[in-house]
Chains A and B, each alone.
Chain A
Amino acid sequence: GAVVSQHPSWVICKSGTSVKIECRSLDFQATTMFWYRQFPKQSLMLMATSNEGSKATYEQGVEKDKFLINHASLTLSTLTVTSAHPEDSSFYICSASGQGQGVVNTIYFGEGSWLTVV
Chain B
Amino acid sequence: GEDVEQSLFLSVREGDSSVINCTYTDSSSTYLYWYKQEPGAGLQLLTYIFSNMDMKQDQRLTVLLNKKDKHLSLRIADTQTGDSAIYFCAESRRRDDKIIFGKGTRLHILP
A residues with a Cβ closer than 8 A to B are 32, 34, 36, 42-46, 49, 93, 95, 97-98, 104-107, 109-112
Total cross-chain contacts (CB, 8 A): 46
Interchain Cβ contacts under 8 Å between A and B, 20 examples: A34-B98, A34-B99, A43-B101, A44-B88, A44-B101, A45-B101, A46-B98, A46-B99, A49-B98, A93-B42, A95-B99, A97-B95, A98-B96, A105-B96, A107-B92, A107-B96, A109-B43, A109-B45, A110-B42, A111-B42
B contacts with A: majority SS: loop
B residues with a Cβ closer than 8 A to A are 41-43, 45, 88, 92, 94-104
- Chain A residues with CB under 8 A of B97: 97, 107
A49 to B92, CA, bound (A): 14
Q: How far is the CB of A20 from chain B (nearest CB, A)?
A: 19
Question: Is B99 a contact partner of A43 (Cβ separation < 8 A)?
Answer: no
Question: Is B99 a contact partner of A42 (Cβ separation < 8 A)?
Answer: no
- Closest residue of chain B to A106 (Cβ to Cβ) is B95
Please indicate which of the listed interface residues B41, B43, B96, B104 has the most CB atoms of chain A within 10 Å of its own CB: B96
- Closest residue of chain B to A44 (Cβ to Cβ) is B101
Q: How far is the CB of A98 from chain B (nearest CB, A)?
A: 8
